[in-house]
Amino acid sequence: MLAQITYVTKIKKADFNIYVGVENALDLKKQNPIIASDTPFNKYFDASMVLGPIYGRMMHVGLRYKII
């Protein structure tokens, strides 16, 4: 689950937005995201297949500036 809120400013000769957002809002993490990680020579092992979120909650704050 993710969300973002953007504030659009209206200042002459400058067009910029301020935003704040969150990813993985519920802070869910998989304990074993890689299938068969304990047996790397198994035919089911594939480190590129991560099934689920591995990072916790991430907050974002930023500034977008539009050059006219």
Distance CA 65, CA 58 (A): 23
What pLDDT sits at residue 16?
86
Mean model confidence pLDDT for the chain = 87
> How many domains, the chain?
1
pLDDT band, residue 21 (cuts 50/70/90): very high
Distance CA 61, CA 22 (A): 9
pLDDT greater at residue 32 or residue 41: 41
Between strands 15-23 and 2-8, the pairing is: antiparallel
- Structural domain containing residue 20: 2-66
